[in-house]
Structure 1
Amino acid sequence: MPASAVAARCTAQLLSGAPAATAEEAVRRVLAVQGQDPRGFRLAVRARTSGGTAAEVEAALTGSRSLVVSWLNRGTLHLVEAADFWWLHDLTTPQLAKDSVRRLGQEGVPPPLAERGVAVVHDEVSEHGPRTRDELRVALEGAGVPTTGQALVHVLLAATLQHRLIRGPVRDGEHCMVLAEDWLGAAPPPLPREEALATLARRYLAGHGPATDRDLAMWAKLPLRDVRAGLAAIADETVDLGDGLLDLAERAPAEPLPTRLLGNFDPILHGWVSRDPVLGAHEGNVVVGGIFRSWAFDAGRAVALWRIAGGRVRIAPFARLPRRTEQALLADAEAVVAYLGLPAKEPVLEAV
């Protein structure tokens, strides 16, 4: 893929060009930010905004209730704007039910116990409001529902699919499960499927274009025929760039490629079938056993890993970097520490 396409995607993702002013604006552009790692999705917001802090994400989750986390696309936790939760849930989760039953069985939770577990979770959040995972675990174990291994996670997923649970408020640093209607208010009227597919196609391209129909099908875990129907519905809004790549016709020119520290599970690695245009030969360094590590990005390519150890950012380049790149990454490391509200410590660039 040409560097111009990577540059266009970075601009679409708000990694380059004018950043978002708020966490909500950044999440709205990407539509759904992979959200299984709390620090990871906060760092995804940081990379796409200017002048904010992680505390603003906390406030959006717990105060204004403008952001929520729930199982959506691909059965994976995602951070979304509250207004987008409803139609994304209705569109992307029904097809997850069969896999949910299978996984529950693999975790030692047969259908009768799964039904009991879903009922227990629903009753707990209905009667008591937001509940932590530990609180729900205690209630499930008291009802004889297995919670060991991944059983708890899959019971909570099943309850989410049936009753539209979300991880909204944060209590003592931990997300709580709550019914979406209790936390966000009454659900809006559902979008007709054709309208929802068109909305998905438009919003996906806004934050991920240029991309192919197969990229969108993978990202949303929807049948290719549905994705193509959505793209066809907005055909007058898109442009064909060749090789199957589509983008919105009304797209600002791509901005220069960024030099940034990106968190684990950053959205730039999750919106397309192939990560090769960004990770190349370093995919095995960044993605290990399904875990996406924190990494550094320069000129459209991955150039380093990084971590926070002892409150200090430590950057480990894959190869010797130009001095300009080193300085830019060290400056961004200081911004990461400030964003997370950690005590300021000078970052370290480790030897190659």
Structure 2
Amino acid sequence: MSDPLPRITPAQRRARLGQRHLLAPSARAARVEAVADAVVGLHATDPATVYLSACARLREPGAGEVERALYEDVSLVKLLSMRRTIFAVTTELAPVVGSSTARAIAVRERATLLKHLRERAEEHWDEARLAEVEKAVLAAVAERGEATTAEVAEDVPALRERIVMAPGKPYAARQTVGSRLLRLLASDGHLRRCRPRGSWTSSLYPWALVPPLPDLPVREAKAELARRWLAAYGPATEADLKWWTGWTVTDTRRALADIGAEGVTLAEGPGYVVPGDVPGDDEPVAGDEPWAALLPGLDPTAMGWQARGWYLDPDHVKPLFDGSGNIGPTVWWNGRIVGGWAQRANGEVVWRALTDVGREATAAVAAEAARLSGWLGEVRVTPRFRTPLERELAS
């Protein structure tokens, strides 16, 4: 009879978050690249999330440190990758993300765009015209150095043509070709987003050419991404990894096998850790270093697993998520989500606990709210995906 698999409890999983995700004060990082690698990528669909997620984990929070990495050193790059979500990852990890997920997504995005252009555009489009326009776009960006979509459209008028999305539906809309095509060229690895026009919360950013990412063997890239994710988020289930990456079941199982992932037993059932990562007697436990955090909507820790019952009370899902499954700003205490927060128009950061957290937690959360207010200064942040509790607190 085989030995039973090691059991890892929800409390042990929560104890790991403070250190591995750099949320405990002693674990905070000096540079944003260390933050991005610790969580295997910062969610970047909402521009503000990158800054808020990074600064929650930095010893000295400030937008300038994030801007340095994104726009000066360009040591962080944004890729349309896991789950068709934009992630900011380090340049070291970018080839892994590109070969394991981003390139396959770019292929699907191209096919979808071409289908929409053929069926819904105002003028005739085919593969030849799309290739011709793409070549013109890259030439225009090269000539300008960097340019917004509207500026490129001055040089390439085809970008101003429109596509009807969801025709015949109440929510039908008309999008410009440029809004879709430059995003595609970015997902294909030809363009990168530059410093936005306006504040760091703005989505009005110019584009610039970027050197192509190195090609890695796809299977090796998937294994490396799985290894990094499991080291940061493990223990976790096969379903968690499949959900986070957007891979097929076959690819997920192959990647786990390729890295020699060790089986463990979780409250949800079978789980995995990277080899040698079963908790030992010397591993910190919950309460060794109490910590509080105010994390933004779509933060990688909050969105790191498909099964969230070990850190999120199911009764709190409704106030903290929007109707599409996007989590809003959350308040954490020792590895659990215990409430939500928002910033009001006057700049005040307000929060509410959804459960009794006690005096120690209340004081710690209040200190984090003051820390957040301190580095935000005059900046006002409204999440792109608003949730019931965030709207209520912000009003």
* Equivalent AA in structure 1 for residue 340 of structure 2: L
The CA distance in 2 between the partners of 1:282 and 1:111, in whole Å, is 48
SS at match of 1:288: coil
1:250-275 deviations in Å (ceiling 9; x for gaps) = 44724536321111111012222223
Match runs of 1:1-352 below 5 Å:
2-16=10-24, 18-96=27-105, 97-102=107-112, 105=115, 108-109=120-121, 111=126, 115=131, 118-136=134-152, 143-146=159-162, 148-149=174-175, 152-173=178-199, 174-181=204-211, 187-188=213-214, 190-235=215-260, 238-242=261-265, 243-251=269-277, 253-256=283-286, 258-279=291-312, 280-290=314-324, 291-309=326-344, 310-342=346-378
Q: Are residues 239 and 162 of structure 1, via their aligned partners in 2, closer, same or farther at CA, if it must alter by over 3 Å?
A: closer
The CA distance in 2 between the partners of 1:137 and 1:255, in whole Å, is 56
In the TM superposition, residue 47 of structure 1 has moved relative to its aligned partner by: 2.0
* Equivalent AA in structure 2 for residue 123 of structure 1: A
| Identity across the alignment (%) | 26
Q: Are residues 272 and 136 of structure 1, via their aligned partners in 2, closer, same or farther at CA, if it must alter by over 3 Å?
A: farther
Contact 1:275–1:283 (CA under 8 A) maintained in structure 2: no
1:189-242 deviations in Å (ceiling 9; x for gaps) = x2222321221121111221111222222212122222222222221xx43222
In the TM superposition, residue 327 of structure 1 has moved relative to its aligned partner by: 1.4
Q: Are residues 104 and 311 of structure 1, via their aligned partners in 2, closer, same or farther at CA, if it must alter by over 3 Å?
A: farther
Equivalent residues, number: 337
SS at match of 2:349: strand
In the TM superposition, residue 116 of structure 1 has moved relative to its aligned partner by: 5.6
* Equivalent AA in structure 1 for residue 262 of structure 2: V
In the TM superposition, residue 175 of structure 1 has moved relative to its aligned partner by: 3.5
In the TM superposition, residue 79 of structure 1 has moved relative to its aligned partner by: 0.8
* Equivalent AA in structure 2 for residue 306 of structure 1: W
TM-score (norm 1): 0.84
Question: Whose Rg is larger?
Answer: 2
In the TM superposition, residue 70 of structure 1 has moved relative to its aligned partner by: 2.4
Contact 1:130–1:169 (CA under 8 A) maintained in structure 2: no
* Equivalent AA in structure 1 for residue 20 of structure 2: A
The CA distance in 1 between the partners of 2:55 and 2:160, in whole Å, is 42
* Equivalent AA in structure 1 for residue 229 of structure 2: Y
In the TM superposition, residue 4 of structure 1 has moved relative to its aligned partner by: 2.0
TM-score (norm 2): 0.75
SS at match of 1:244: strand
Q: Are residues 75 and 86 of structure 1, via their aligned partners in 2, closer, same or farther at CA, if it must alter by over 3 Å?
A: same
Q: Are residues 91 and 327 of structure 1, via their aligned partners in 2, closer, same or farther at CA, if it must alter by over 3 Å?
A: same
The CA distance in 1 between the partners of 2:223 and 2:273, in whole Å, is 14
For structure 1, list consecutive stretches of 5 or more residues without a partner in the other structure.
Answer: 344-349
The CA distance in 1 between the partners of 2:144 and 2:190, in whole Å, is 16
The CA distance in 2 between the partners of 1:322 and 1:223, in whole Å, is 43
RMSD over aligned CA atoms reads 2.9
Q: Are residues 161 and 65 of structure 1, via their aligned partners in 2, closer, same or farther at CA, if it must alter by over 3 Å?
A: closer
The CA distance in 1 between the partners of 2:153 and 2:351, in whole Å, is 38
286-295 or 247-256, larger mean C-alpha shift: 247-256
SS at match of 1:268: coil
What is the match of residue 169 of structure 2? Answer: none
The CA distance in 2 between the partners of 1:132 and 1:196, in whole Å, is 32
Contact 1:260–1:332 (CA under 8 A) maintained in structure 2: yes
